[in-house]
Amino acid sequence: MKTIAANELKTKGVSSISKALEGGGEATITIRGQDRYVVMDLETYNRLRVCELEAALNESRREVADGEYVEESVEDHIRRISKAAE
């Protein structure tokens, strides 16, 4: 993964990000030598979001198949989550 120093980002701006992301992938922004942030192009971000949503859907399907869910009215649901928040 390519790295961008925070000082380079300050002086060169978005062009330093564009250069680091040439060819796709991600780049790490470092502050005082420590990795702090990751930047990526929108296509990579959207692909990761799709993967995340598919994982959540698969987890939900597994929970339903295993009977790990609750059927209740809206009012009962609000009561239950309100008690849990206390």
Percentage of the residues of the chain whose pLDDT score is greater than 90:
92
Tens digit of pLDDT at every position of the chain (86 positions):
899 999 999 999 999 999 999 988 899 999 999 999 999 999 999 999 999 999 999 999 999 999 999 999 999 999 999 999 88
Taking Cα atoms as reference points, which of 35, 5, 42 lies closest to residue 20?
Answer: 5
Distances (CA, A) of 26 to 4, 6, 74: 11, 15, 43
- In the chain, what is the straight-line distance between the N-terminal and C-terminal CA atoms, in Å? 44
CATH 1.20.120 fits 2-40, yes or no: no
